[in-house]
Amino acid sequence: MRENTIAVQSNARDAAESGARAADYFALLKPRVMSLVVFTALTGMVLAPGELHPVLAAVAILCIAVGAGASGAINMWYDADIDADMKRTKNRPIPAGRVGANEALAFGAILAGGSVLVMGLAVNWVAAALLAFTIGFYVFVYTMWLKRRTPQNIVIGGAAGAFPPMVAWAAVTGDISLGGLALFAIIFMWTPPHFWSLALYRCGDYARVGVPMLPVVAGLRETRLQILIYSVLLVPITLLPWFMGMVSAVYGVMAAALGVVFLAGAVRVFHDGSEQQKPARQLFGFSILYLFLLFAVLLTEGLVGWT
């Protein structure tokens, strides 16, 4: 780890000399995570009761996207030492030496402050405070405190990824209400099976860099059991928007059907003992599609207004 830190510092100096491309700064924002954040936030905004001027709605979504990106940049600054040692992350701009570590930190901090300030001035201060809390939660609670200390890192840290629809909801209503909490709960419960199925077949990487992901600390069997438990809890929670009357039975039926497929995947992971971890890879891939489809139906229902 120490050698990596020195290498990252050396890369940072090199980056300052050679200069980064604009695309490298964009990569610091974790654009793929950002796109999911924008999508879930948009859904929260559409489902929230009330009116928001389209320009201010666009500003709110932009602020949430930039705030999420800023969190990603600060996360990459803090984790540059371990990123350099993992297959999935070693080509990120800092470990690859394309952007200096301090530059990335400054970039993230300015964007984080800017996004909160603009949200407060243009939209409302409840949404701004919630956005600031989300960024702070991801950076301080997940990245700096939990990630390297406990196998429950992504359970609690996953809350950071679940906040965006609540922030967008607050942008419209000016408060935190049950509808926003229901969307939060879906993403919160989805995160552990999603990340643990990835960790099942990447646990070698995490073990090498000392991140105590569940498979590393508790073993593969326990991780598979936990994936199954969280999946069983997730499916009824995805039905909450229907039970609460936010959307029609169309969503309810879709969520139940998708939930059955998700549960079947979790059961296959639970019974799998193979080296290749094929069911875990499949569940990880399906989990992304699953969340996307759930929110796509919620978004469509919000736009069409079937309820």
CA dihedral 196, 162, 238, 259 (to 10 degrees): -30
Q: Per CB under 8 A, which region of 5-13, 34-42, 51-59, 163-171 contacts other proteins?
A: 51-59
Binding residue for other proteins, selected from 12, 25, 116, 230, defined by CB under 8 A: 25
Amino acid identity of 117? Answer: L
> What mask of x and - would describe binding to other proteins in positions 54 to 93, judged by CB under 8 A?
-xx--x--x-------------------------------
Nearer to other proteins by Cβ, of 121 and 244: the residue is 121
Angle between helix axes 54-78 and 164-173 (nearest 10 degrees) is: 150
Burial of 174 per CB tally in 10 Å (0-12, 13-18, 19+): middle
Binding residue for other proteins, selected from 7, 122, 225, 232, defined by CB under 8 A: 122
The half-sphere exposure of 307 on its side-chain side, counting CA atoms within 13 A, is 20
Give yes or no for residue 13 binding other proteins (CB under 8 A).
no
Binding residue for other proteins, selected from 21, 88, 221, 278, defined by CB under 8 A: 21
Cβ–Cβ under 8 Å, residues 57 and 171: yes
Give yes or no for residue 18 binding other proteins (CB under 8 A).
yes
Nearer to other proteins by Cβ, of 21 and 87: the residue is 21
- Provide the H-helix boundaries in 54-100: 54-78, 80-83
Of the candidates 124, 96, 90, which has an alpha carbon nearest to the alpha carbon of residue 12? Answer: 96
- Closest distance of CB 207 from other proteins, Å: 37
Of the candidates 248, 212, 237, which has an alpha carbon nearest to the alpha carbon of residue 290? Answer: 237
Give yes or no for residue 96 binding other proteins (CB under 8 A).
no
Nearer to other proteins by Cβ, of 121 and 233: the residue is 121
Binding site for other proteins (CB under 8 A): 18-22, 25, 53, 55-56, 59, 62, 118, 121-123
